[in-house]
Structure 1
Protein backbone atom coordinates (compact mmCIF):
# COMPACT_ATOMS: atom_id res chain seq x y z
CA UNK A 1 0.00 0.00 0.00
CA UNK A 2 1.35 3.41 -0.87
CA UNK A 3 -0.12 6.68 0.28
CA UNK A 4 -1.72 8.91 -2.30
CA UNK A 5 -1.84 12.67 -1.97
CA UNK A 6 -5.48 13.02 -0.84
CA UNK A 7 -5.21 10.15 1.64
CA UNK A 8 -4.12 11.38 5.06
CA UNK A 9 -1.67 9.65 7.37
CA UNK A 10 -4.54 9.22 9.84
CA UNK A 11 -6.52 7.39 7.14
CA UNK A 12 -3.58 5.14 6.26
CA UNK A 13 -2.92 4.21 9.88
CA UNK A 14 -6.64 3.66 10.49
CA UNK A 15 -6.74 1.40 7.43
CA UNK A 16 -3.77 -0.59 8.73
CA UNK A 17 -5.49 -1.04 12.09
CA UNK A 18 -8.68 -2.36 10.50
CA UNK A 19 -7.25 -4.40 7.62
CA UNK A 20 -3.96 -5.76 8.94
CA UNK A 21 -4.64 -5.86 12.67
CA UNK A 22 -8.37 -6.63 12.50
CA UNK A 23 -9.34 -3.88 14.92
CA UNK A 24 -13.12 -3.32 14.66
CA UNK A 25 -13.67 -0.15 12.62
CA UNK A 26 -16.02 1.31 15.25
CA UNK A 27 -13.12 1.28 17.75
CA UNK A 28 -10.77 3.20 15.42
CA UNK A 29 -11.33 6.79 16.56
CA UNK A 30 -8.87 9.67 16.61
CA UNK A 31 -9.13 9.87 20.41
CA UNK A 32 -8.46 6.16 20.98
CA UNK A 33 -5.17 5.36 22.71
CA UNK A 34 -2.94 3.29 20.43
CA UNK A 35 -2.18 0.95 23.37
CA UNK A 36 -5.91 0.09 23.47
CA UNK A 37 -6.08 -0.56 19.72
CA UNK A 38 -2.90 -2.64 19.63
CA UNK A 39 -3.54 -4.95 22.54
CA UNK A 40 -0.24 -6.81 22.77
CA UNK A 41 3.44 -6.11 22.32
CA UNK A 42 3.68 -8.10 19.09
CA UNK A 43 0.96 -5.94 17.52
CA UNK A 44 2.90 -2.82 18.54
CA UNK A 45 6.10 -4.13 16.93
CA UNK A 46 4.20 -5.14 13.79
CA UNK A 47 2.56 -1.70 13.56
CA UNK A 48 5.94 0.02 13.83
CA UNK A 49 7.16 -2.14 10.93
CA UNK A 50 3.98 -1.53 8.89
CA UNK A 51 4.23 2.26 9.35
CA UNK A 52 7.86 2.17 8.22
CA UNK A 53 7.04 0.02 5.17
CA UNK A 54 3.94 2.00 4.20
CA UNK A 55 4.89 5.57 5.06
CA UNK A 56 8.68 5.42 5.23
CA UNK A 57 8.83 6.70 8.82
CA UNK A 58 10.57 4.83 11.62
CA UNK A 59 8.60 4.88 14.86
CA UNK A 60 9.48 3.69 18.32
CA UNK A 61 7.33 1.25 20.24
CA UNK A 62 7.11 3.74 23.13
CA UNK A 63 5.53 6.27 20.75
CA UNK A 64 2.81 3.79 19.90
CA UNK A 65 2.10 3.06 23.55
CA UNK A 66 1.96 6.70 24.64
CA UNK A 67 -0.14 8.40 21.95
CA UNK A 68 -3.72 8.49 20.79
CA UNK A 69 -4.36 7.58 17.18
CA UNK A 70 -4.57 11.27 16.21
CA UNK A 71 -1.37 12.19 18.09
CA UNK A 72 0.52 9.29 16.55
CA UNK A 73 -0.71 10.12 13.03
CA UNK A 74 0.25 13.79 13.48
CA UNK A 75 3.73 12.79 14.66
CA UNK A 76 4.24 10.47 11.68
CA UNK A 77 2.87 13.08 9.27
CA UNK A 78 5.22 15.75 10.63
CA UNK A 79 8.22 13.48 10.02
CA UNK A 80 7.04 12.65 6.50
CA UNK A 81 6.88 16.32 5.58
CA UNK A 82 10.29 17.07 7.10
CA UNK A 83 12.00 15.20 4.29
Structure 2
Protein backbone atom coordinates (compact mmCIF):
# COMPACT_ATOMS: atom_id res chain seq x y z
CA UNK A 1 0.00 0.00 0.00
CA UNK A 2 1.29 3.41 -0.88
CA UNK A 3 1.29 6.16 1.72
CA UNK A 4 1.21 9.06 -0.69
CA UNK A 5 -1.85 10.73 -2.13
CA UNK A 6 -2.43 13.52 -4.57
CA UNK A 7 -2.08 16.77 -2.70
CA UNK A 8 -5.66 17.77 -3.38
CA UNK A 9 -7.18 14.90 -1.33
CA UNK A 10 -4.63 15.39 1.43
CA UNK A 11 -5.43 19.10 1.40
CA UNK A 12 -9.18 18.50 1.59
CA UNK A 13 -8.85 16.13 4.54
CA UNK A 14 -6.36 18.45 6.25
CA UNK A 15 -8.78 21.34 5.82
CA UNK A 16 -11.58 19.25 7.34
CA UNK A 17 -9.38 18.48 10.34
CA UNK A 18 -8.50 22.14 10.86
CA UNK A 19 -11.82 23.79 10.02
CA UNK A 20 -14.43 21.29 11.17
CA UNK A 21 -12.61 19.50 13.95
CA UNK A 22 -10.49 22.42 15.16
CA UNK A 23 -7.24 20.45 15.11
CA UNK A 24 -4.33 22.91 15.44
CA UNK A 25 -2.73 23.33 11.98
CA UNK A 26 0.74 22.51 13.33
CA UNK A 27 -0.51 19.02 14.32
CA UNK A 28 -1.89 18.24 10.85
CA UNK A 29 1.07 16.44 9.25
CA UNK A 30 1.15 13.56 6.79
CA UNK A 31 2.68 11.20 9.37
CA UNK A 32 0.25 12.08 12.16
CA UNK A 33 -1.94 9.20 13.35
CA UNK A 34 -5.60 9.91 12.68
CA UNK A 35 -6.54 8.50 16.10
CA UNK A 36 -4.33 11.18 17.67
CA UNK A 37 -5.90 13.98 15.60
CA UNK A 38 -9.49 12.83 16.18
CA UNK A 39 -9.44 12.31 19.91
CA UNK A 40 -12.82 10.71 20.51
CA UNK A 41 -15.12 8.25 18.78
CA UNK A 42 -17.69 10.89 17.85
CA UNK A 43 -15.01 12.81 15.92
CA UNK A 44 -14.13 9.61 14.02
CA UNK A 45 -17.78 9.07 13.05
CA UNK A 46 -18.10 12.72 12.03
CA UNK A 47 -14.95 12.45 9.88
CA UNK A 48 -16.38 9.42 8.08
CA UNK A 49 -19.55 11.41 7.37
CA UNK A 50 -17.61 14.51 6.32
CA UNK A 51 -15.47 12.53 3.86
CA UNK A 52 -18.58 10.95 2.38
CA UNK A 53 -20.33 14.32 2.03
CA UNK A 54 -17.28 16.17 0.72
CA UNK A 55 -15.60 13.55 -1.47
CA UNK A 56 -18.36 11.01 -2.09
CA UNK A 57 -16.37 8.13 -0.59
CA UNK A 58 -17.80 5.82 2.06
CA UNK A 59 -15.28 4.80 4.70
CA UNK A 60 -15.37 2.71 7.84
CA UNK A 61 -14.50 4.12 11.23
CA UNK A 62 -11.67 1.59 11.67
CA UNK A 63 -10.02 2.93 8.51
CA UNK A 64 -9.87 6.34 10.12
CA UNK A 65 -8.51 5.09 13.44
CA UNK A 66 -5.88 2.77 12.03
CA UNK A 67 -3.96 5.01 9.66
CA UNK A 68 -1.81 8.08 9.36
CA UNK A 69 -3.18 11.15 7.62
CA UNK A 70 -1.20 10.29 4.46
CA UNK A 71 -2.37 6.65 4.46
CA UNK A 72 -5.96 7.72 5.00
CA UNK A 73 -5.77 10.25 2.15
CA UNK A 74 -4.25 7.61 -0.15
CA UNK A 75 -7.04 5.18 0.72
CA UNK A 76 -9.71 7.78 -0.01
CA UNK A 77 -8.03 8.68 -3.31
CA UNK A 78 -7.85 5.02 -4.36
CA UNK A 79 -11.58 4.65 -3.80
CA UNK A 80 -12.34 7.80 -5.76
CA UNK A 81 -10.40 6.54 -8.77
CA UNK A 82 -12.03 3.08 -8.59
CA UNK A 83 -15.42 4.54 -9.49
TM-score higher than 0.5: yes
Match of 1:27 in 2: 27
TM-superposed deviation, 1:33: 0.2
Cα deviation, 1:4-23, whole Å, max 9, x if unaligned, reads: xx961100000000000000
Does the residue aligned with 1:49 lie in a helix, a strand or coil?
A: helix
Give structure 2 stretches of 5+ with no counterpart: 1-5
For residues 7 and 32 of structure 1, what CA distance do their matches in structure 2 show? 16
Give structure 1 stretches of 5+ with no counterpart: 1-5
- Map 1:65-80 to 2 at 5 A: 65-80=65-80
Match of 2:56 in 1: 56
For residues 9 and 82 of structure 2, what CA distance do their matches in structure 1 show? 14
TM-score relative to the length of structure 2: 0.91
- Map 1:5-24 to 2 at 5 A: 8-24=8-24
TM-score relative to the length of structure 1: 0.91
For residues 54 and 24 of structure 2, what CA distance do their matches in structure 1 show? 21
Superposed structure 1 runs of 4+ greater than 4 Å apart = none
